Amino acid sequence: MKIKKIKPSIPLILFFILIAIFIFFSIIADNFLTFRNISSLLKNMTVMGIMAVGLTPLMIAGRIDLSFGANLSLTTVFMALLYGGSLGIGFKEVEEAVSSEYFDTAGGSTSLWLVVIIGILIATAIGAFNGLVIEKIRVNPLIFTLAMLSVLQSVAFVYSNKMSIFVGTDEVYNIGELEFFNIPVSIFILFILLLIYWFFLKFTKFGRTIYAVGSGAEVSQLFGINVKGTRIILYTLVGFFTGIAAIIVFFNTGIGSSYHGELLLFPTLSGIVLGGLGFQGGKGSIISSILGVLILAFLVNGLKTLGIQSDQIQIIQGAVFIGAVSFYAIRERK
Amino acid sequence: MENFKNKFKSALNNIFLGKSEAPLLLLVYIIILVIFFSLNNDYLRLNNIKNILGNLSIPAILSVGLTPVILSGNIDISIGSTYALSGIVVGLLYRVADIPVPVAILAGLLIGLIVGAINGLLVIKIGVNSIIATLGMMSMIRGVIYVIGRRVMKIYYQPFLNLARIYIFEHIQIILIYFLVFFFIMYFILKLTKFGKHLYAIGADEKIASFFGINIRRNKFITFLISGGAAAIGGVLSVSVIGDVTVSFGSGTLLFEVITACILGGISVAGGRGSLIGVFVAIFILGSIRSGLVLADVPINLRELIFGMILILALVMDSFRVRKRGLSEEL
Amino acid sequence: MDRKIVLEVKNLGKYFNAIKAIDGVDMKLYENEILAIVGDNGAGKSTLIKTISGVYSKNFGSIYINGKEAEINNALDAKKHGIETVYQDSSVIPLLDASSNIFLGREKIRQNFFGRLFKILDFKYMREETRKVLNKFGIDLKDLDAEVANLSGGQRQSVSIGRAAYWGGKIIILDEPTNNLGVKQENKVMDLIMKLSHDFKVSIIIITHNIDHVFQLVDRIVVLRNGKKVGDVLKKETDKNDVVAMITGVKNIKMNGKT
């Protein structure tokens, strides 16, 4: 399955933009081109990158999920509570448990493996739930996932009392700081996931099915493709990838918080739309999405090193988002 | 006997799945009142009722303003941030730039129209999906608010405070009157004017609407102006009620409350159907639930969760309604 | 006649709530013939062939393929019985290329271990087969990887018709194949249909509004009106006026040459 051929191709343009931004900030900003800055940048973007990779096939298939940020938050909260041993007790007790740091530094009360597995299960289950409701009951995907965002966020608030749950034991940080050849493990995870999904999208029947569903759902149905089933699987996978991202966040920060996801939602979406992922389906690629996320990450980081404040950066981010969707919308019309 | 059973069945069908949501909603409303009254007898006291009415008035204005947008097949999720921005602008102009209050208020309202116009431009002229466009705007406006609004702005100017705080006949808050007036105007527009009928047509089937010569672009654009304007009105009134404005003004749950009222009230996400009457009842239901939960000592996080689930429930119900009419066999 | 009946429907009916789209239709399709189904808007032509091809499931009546009763509840069932359909607007996916469309839902998998494990596509095979089948219709696409949306209307139809022929359809249904095409493209599509009939030896049902095309192409004409069959005549035993009269109901029912 070839990417839509247009001279020049979108990934190429994006790549050049990325290089241009990189060079620009290297020259302009002093602290930009340091090993420390770049590696911190890359480390931060892996989480967004992983979620972007997970979302891309879903959007190619013509659907959207706005609740993944809240999903991530909720998952980290549950992981923190589970690890810290305070899951399953009443709301008032959570308040007390959360406000006192009674975990010793060696380890939590639940095995870390179990915590990880349950985290992935929760996130995946939420994704599956989204998929089932949207495809079986046929609610409007955009508004429903928006509503789920609110619901999941609320649940996270309930269980964390709107506070951050700190469970940063040595055990946790040791894993969070794992590196191979000086490169954080999370980047390898991103790379592997990226590769796998890219391969599946381009070379397998599953990938082609996704493109078919996205650009011609009725016709696909006529030819025996299980349109709804495909989308449900993709929603579940979004949940799965969000779970992986949640785990990485958990190990990196040692914190379960209902605010993790909120901060990641918009930048991830911005990266994806920069990569040209339309909301109408049938087009897009993993490469473009990752490039989009990278461009945004470099842009934000570069601006930060120039001393521009986060609020102003948010305006720029919003403008980039609007600019990107407008650009692709206009292109679509021609 | 058979005949009676059939009629009863079809009446039930109508209420749950069909023509009008209002009867079902009224029924639900009564049940809710009963439940909450039994949980806390203060519920039906005059004081509390005044409370409920006062709290729901401003979000209600936003819901009424949002309705035309949804009817014509779009949505505007930037209303929360527009609401906040208008408030901030009024505060800034008055406190910082020393501009007379009436002008500041006008500026605040104008902001709402400007945001609405930009939304309209993005959705109609450029062709961006309305959720995406308004999502982007919401984010950008939030950023703008943080940049320009980083201070507490208190407003002591009595006439301005009176704008939203005075009571009529001792018991009725004036914001309730504003809401009712706005509601009746919008109801009149939607039910009795050509514009209103056109909106329903556009929401129901754009292709056919355009065959009949309806100017889809212009009409849709106007709906965004309405939602932006209503949000701005709400924002300005809110500042008057609260008396000051800060960066955290109007964040979070407002947007979802407003949307929930519309959808619960029967405005279909698919566009083209629903009545303001349903929205009216839904607004009261939500306001009453909120008050009831507070009086029953339900913690705030749980309250927000319950409202989220109400929205989901409303969406699912809306889905079933749309399917029952055989509208969507789509994939 | 002694010819083989490849498809027969008896008393076929499909209702949509109160609307009786088709209401007890009897129809035969003989081997190797080209049959036209005509009728005014709402006569039931589309519903009839959609019921036969599995898009709709019938409310009553029976369908027989080669003499045996067939259960057709979805599009896949129909394909299993050798019924391939070309819907209006070609039923192609515009953003995909020709071979993706031809192999839609039936993609060829590479036969090695990994291929079967991950269902890796055999692009080479599919492109080759696509080229071959399009050549049989006299179509030579310069860029086989082009999105079908960028092809001409006639080329798009060739992809669609080629798909139907390629998968061994013995009964091929064409729903308004020349709709929305310019005159030149229309003629090209008619050539395709002729080729289909002569070279592939299949039985064809065509739905069309265009009476001229009917008389250029087909062997027999079935007329529907208000969900019922009101005419069933050989082309050579009737003329345009006759047919139009049956469509509009001016003329009375005419079956097999008798009024």
What is residue C255's predicted lDDT score, i.e. its pLDDT? 66
Chain A with chain C: Cβ pairs closer than 8 A: 71
Q: Give the residue with greater pLDDT, C231 vs A134.
A: A134
B233 to chain A, any CB pair closer than 8 A? The answer is no
Q: Are B29 and B281 in contact (CB under 8 A)?
A: yes
Please write the tens of the pLDDT for every residue from B82-123: 999 999 998 888 887 888 888 889 999 999 999 999 999 999
Structural Rg of chain A based on CA atoms: 20
Contact A211 C95 (CB under 8 A): yes
DSSP C21-78: EEEEEEEEEETT-EEEEEE-TTSSHHHHHHHHTTSS--SEEEEEETTEE----SHHHH
Please report the pLDDT score of residue A71 as a whole number.
97
The two beta strands, C34-39 and C220-225, are parallel
Contact A154/B305, CB-based, under 8 Å? yes
Q: What is the pLDDT of residue C252?
A: 61
Q: List CB contacts of C4: < 8 A, sequence separation 6 or more.
A: C30, C31, C66
Q: Is the pLDDT of residue A281 over 90?
A: no
Give me the mean pLDDT over the A144-154 stretch: 94
Pick C121's closest partner by Cβ from A204, A223, A282: A204
Q: Across the interface, do C107 and A205 touch by the CB < 8 Å criterion?
A: yes
Residue contact C104–A225, C-beta within 8 A: yes
Question: In chain C, what residues touch A223 (CB-CB under 8 Å)?
Answer: 75, 104-106
Contact map slice: B 149-168 vs A, CB within 8 A: 150
DSSP character at residue C143: -
User: Minimal Cα–Cα distance from B288 to chain A, Å?
Assistant: 20
Taking a C-beta distance cutoff of 8 angstroms, is the pair B233, B132 a contact?
A: no
Judged by average pLDDT, the poorest of A2-16, A78-92, C27-41 is A78-92
Test mutation, C86, C104, C122, C167, chain A, max A CBs within 10 A? C104
Contact state of A147 with B315 under an 8 Å Cβ cutoff:
yes
Which pLDDT tens digit goes with each residue over B285-317?
Answer: 999 999 888 888 888 888 989 999 999 999 998
- Kindly list the partner chains of chain B, i.e. chains with 3 or more CB atom pairs below 8 Å: A
Yes or no, beta carbons of C118 and A282 under 8 Å apart? no
Write out the DSSP string of C120-142. BB-HHHHHHHHHHHHHHTT---S
Q: Which CATH architecture has domain A10-333?
A: Orthogonal Bundle (1.10)
Identity at A46, one-letter amino acid code:
T
Residue C55 structure tokens: 């898009």
Mutate to test the interface with C, among A1, A60, A223, A230 (most CBs of C within 10 A): A223
Helix H or strand E segment including C223: strand C220-225
For β-strands C60-65 and C171-175, DSSP reports them as unpaired
**If phi over 0 gives left and psi between -120 and 50 gives alpha, with beta otherwise, what is residue C226?**
left
Length of chain B counted residue by residue: 331
State how far the Cα of B200 lies from the Cα of A248, in Å rounded to an integer.
48
Residue C148 φ then ψ, to 5°: -60, -25
Domain boundary assignment for chain A? 10-333
CA distance B224 to chain A (A): 17
Residue of A nearest to B302 (CA): A158
Q: What is the pLDDT of residue A101?
A: 47
CB pairs under 8 A between A and B: 133
Residue B271: how many other CB atoms lie within 10 Å? 22
A151, B133: Cβ pair inside 8 Å?
Answer: no
pLDDT digits 0-9 by tens, B113-152: 999 999 999 999 998 989 999 999 999 999 999 888 877 7
Which of A161, A318, A330 faces B301 most closely, judged by CB atoms? A161
Partners of residue A266 in chain B, C-beta under 8 Å: 139
Using the predicted structure, report yes or no on whether residue C259 has a pLDDT greater than 70.
Answer: no
Please name the residue of chain C whose CA is at the shortest distance from the CA of residue A227: C105
- Relative to beta strand A165-166, strand A255-256 is antiparallel
Q: Cβ–Cβ of C121/A1 closer than 8 Å?
A: yes
The answer on pLDDT for B248 being more than 80 is no
CB contact A129 to B (< 8 Å): no
Residue A7: pLDDT band (50, 70, 90) is low
pLDDT at A105: 44
> b vs e for C231-242, b when ≥16 Cβ sit within 10 Å of the residue's Cβ?
bbbebeebeeeb
Cis link prior to B59 (omega < 30° from 0)? Answer: no
- Mean pLDDT on A111-133: 94
In this prediction, residues C152-175 reach a mean pLDDT of 88
Q: Which CATH superfamily is domain C5-93+169-255 in?
A: P-loop containing nucleotide triphosphate hydrolases (3.40.50.300)
Q: Which of C94, C107, C118 is opposite residue A208, by nearest beta carbon?
A: C107
- Residue A94 pLDDT greater than 80, yes or no: no
Q: Which residues on adjacent β-strands are paired with residue B108? A: none
Domain ranges for chain B: 24-40+252-267+275-325, 58-251
- The full set of domain ranges for chain C reads 5-93+169-255
Residues in A touching B256 (Cβ below 8 Å):
147, 150
A140, A150, A317: residue with CB nearest B256: A150
Say whether A158 and B127 touch across the interface (CB within 8 A). Answer: no
Residue C109 has pLDDT above 80, yes or no: yes
Q: From the candidates A197, A211, A219, A332, which should be mutated to test the interface with C, based on the most C CB atoms within 10 A?
A: A219
The answer to whether residues B152 and B254 touch, using CB atoms and an 8 Å cutoff, is no
- Helix, coil or strand: residue B30: helix
Query: Residue B330 — pLDDT band, cuts 50, 70, 90?
Result: low
Give percent above pLDDT 70 in chain A: 90
Higher pLDDT, A301 or A2: A301
Question: Which chain B residues contact residue A332 at CB under 8 A?
Answer: 127
Q: In chain A, which residues have their Cβ closer than 8 Å to the Cβ of C55? A: 222
Of B65, B77, B70, the residue nearest B272 (C-alpha): B70
Q: Give me the residue from B129, B136, B312 closest to A322, CB to CB.
A: B136
Query: Which of these, A42, A41, A104, A51, lies nearest to A247 by C-alpha position?
Result: A51
pLDDT bin (cut points 50, 70, 90) of residue C90 is low
Q: C55, A222: Cβ pair inside 8 Å? A: yes
pLDDT at residue B166 is higher than 60: yes
Write the secondary structure of A122-189 as one string of H (helix), E (strand) and C (coil).
HHHHHHHHHHHHHHHHCCCHHHHHHHHHHHHHHHHHHHHCCCCEECCCHHHHHHHCCEECCEEHHHHH
Q: Are C33 and C235 in contact (CB under 8 A)?
A: no
